[in-house]
């Protein structure tokens, strides 16, 4: 599905990552890899350092911290927030929605819409799309889009498919109306729920409530130990899906926007692992310097937050005074895949802070 938005823009991006850093070297003994194999995977996949929450920190804690940082530094005015959107797959509670919890913590105005969206790797794109749709309303001039996940709390430490990659974090993106009538944002999005179990936490919902049984660790054919309460990823299926679906999606987006690949300054993609991104860059035909793949090795894969993290980490400073044409892409849980072509310029802020 192709989408087009006029007269909207991003005016600031903040990423908040836990200060707590764990390293692959310290965790290698959990995974049953030989030392030589670990070293190879470190280079190829980008296993290195990742930021994960300590204790029982929740998405609302990190989001509130980030919002307070913006308010305290005069980068956001509480009364101007007309919509508070949170994209997460690790909410504080089943009910109420975590965006309402954050609304309460910040004591925001009551004339506001709060909304949680359950999306993962493509969640930044889904959140942007929803935010742009809200900005079509006359009464909505500023949307605060939060993406956040603390999925490290749902990954088995003895699951070598997922644990070396998973990071936690949240991002806050400010979206406003753009007075420039010529600004156009192009996007596309696709869904295939047939493969909904390719990335799943089987237990803990109403279908299979958590119990002593669902918390029991079991060994899979590859020697990973995880329970039904843990995140499970069919890595081979996800890799194949990404390599099959993402390159034609980007081709289709560029054709829809009537833009050549050479005119795009950066390709800021979801960061599943270094190898997958390099293969995508090769297939799409862009250099690695235009499609950064360094987020997993420095922060871990924090689901939908990996795209704003990638922007802040690689070009955050430059975006304060420059104008770039950027192709965004998210793909994963659902399965959902989406891309967007957007001009980002002269941001009020674009940085990463520690929680």
Q: Which of 220, 282, 317, 346 binds other proteins (CB under 8 A)?
A: 282
CB atoms within 10 A of CB 19: 11
73 is annotated as an active-site residue: no
Q: Which of 81, 84, 155, 276 binds other proteins (CB under 8 A)?
A: 276
Nearest CA to 267 out of 244, 248, 290 is that of 290
114's tokens:
């709060």
Q: Which of 243, 317, 322, 353 binds other proteins (CB under 8 A)?
A: 243
Residues 183, 187, 193, CA angle at the centre, nearest 5°?
160
Nearest CA to 173 out of 139, 138, 126, 136 is that of 126
Please say whether the beta carbons of 264 and 327 come within 8 A.
yes
Q: Is 251 in the site for other proteins (CB under 8 A)?
A: no
Closer CB to other proteins, 99 or 163, in the complex: 163
Closer CB to other proteins, 33 or 132, in the complex: 33
Q: Is 279 in the site for other proteins (CB under 8 A)?
A: yes
270 is annotated as an active-site residue: yes
312 is annotated as an active-site residue: no
Please tell me the number of Cα atoms within 13 Å of 31 on its side-chain side. 22
CA–CA separation, 89 and 119 (whole Å): 6
Q: Is 45 in the site for other proteins (CB under 8 A)?
A: yes
CA–CA separation, 346 and 324 (whole Å): 9
Out of 121, 310, 327, 350, the active site residue is 121
Helix (H) or strand (E) holding 60: helix 59-72
Q: Is 235 in the site for other proteins (CB under 8 A)?
A: yes
Looking at residues 255 to 274 of the shown chain, list those that interact with other proteins (rule: CB under 8 A). none
Judging by DSSP bridges, how do beta strands 142-149 and 266-269 pair with one another?
A: unpaired
Stretch that binds other proteins, among 9-17, 186-194, 277-285, 301-309 (CB under 8 A): 277-285
Out of 48, 161, 163, 270, the active site residue is 270
Closer CB to other proteins, 29 or 111, in the complex: 29
> Among all chains, which residue has been given the structure tokens 């295939």?
192
Q: Is 236 in the site for other proteins (CB under 8 A)?
A: yes
- Least distance to other proteins, CB of residue 282, Å: 4
Closer CB to other proteins, 205 or 285, in the complex: 285
What are the residues whose beta carbons fall under 8 Å from the beta carbon of 328, sequence distance 6 or more? 124, 125, 128, 268, 269, 307, 339, 340, 341, 342
Q: Is 37 in the site for other proteins (CB under 8 A)?
A: yes
Q: Give contact residues for other proteins (rule: CB under 8 A).
A: 33, 37, 40-41, 44-45, 160, 222, 235-236, 239-240, 242-244, 275-276, 279-280, 282-283
Which amino acids are annotated catalytic? 121, 270, 301
């Amino acid at each position: 599905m192709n989408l087009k938005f006029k007269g909207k823009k991003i005016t600031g991006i903040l990423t908040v990552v836990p200060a707590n850093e764990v390293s692959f070297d310290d965790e290698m003994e959990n995974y049953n890899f030989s030392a030589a194999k670990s070293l190879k995977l470190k280079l190829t996949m980008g296993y290195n350092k990742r930021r994960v929450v300590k204790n029982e920190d929740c998405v609302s804690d990190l989001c509130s911290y980030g919002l307070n940082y913006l308010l305290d530094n005069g980068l956001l005015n509480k009364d101007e927030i007309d919509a508070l959107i949170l994209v997460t797959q690790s909410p504080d509670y089943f009910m109420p929605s975590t965006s309402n919890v954050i609304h309460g913590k910040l004591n925001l105005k009551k004339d506001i819409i709060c909304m949680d969206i359950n999306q993962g790797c493509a969640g930044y794109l889904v959140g942007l799309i929803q935010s742009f749709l809200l900005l079509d309303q006359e009464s909505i001039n500023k949307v605060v889009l939060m993406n956040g996940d603390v999925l490290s709390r749902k990954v088995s430490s003895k699951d070598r498919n997922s644990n070396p990659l998973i990071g936690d974090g949240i991002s806050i993106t400010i979206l406003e109306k753009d007075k420039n009538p010529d600004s156009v944002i192009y996007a596309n999005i696709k869904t295939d729920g047939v493969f909904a179990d390719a990335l799943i936490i089987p237990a803990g919902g109403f279908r299979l409530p958590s119990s002593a049984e669902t918390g029991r660790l079991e060994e899979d054919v590859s020697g990973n130990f995880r329970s039904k309460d843990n995140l499970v990823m069919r890595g081979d299926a996800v890799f194949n899906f990404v390599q099959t679906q993402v390159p034609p999606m980007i081709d289709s987006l560029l054709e829809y926007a009537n833009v050549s690949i050479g005119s795009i300054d950066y390709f800021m993609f979801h960061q599943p692992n270094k190898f997958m991104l390099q293969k995508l860059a090769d297939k799409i035909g862009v250099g690695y310097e235009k499609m950064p793949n360094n987020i997993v090795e420095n922060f871990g894969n924090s689901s939908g937050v990996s795209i704003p993290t990638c922007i802040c980490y690689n070009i955050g400073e430059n975006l304060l005074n420059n104008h770039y044409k950027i192709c965004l892409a998210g793909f994963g849980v659902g399965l959902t895949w989406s891309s967007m072509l957007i001009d980002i310029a002269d941001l009020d802020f674009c940085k990463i802070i520690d929680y």
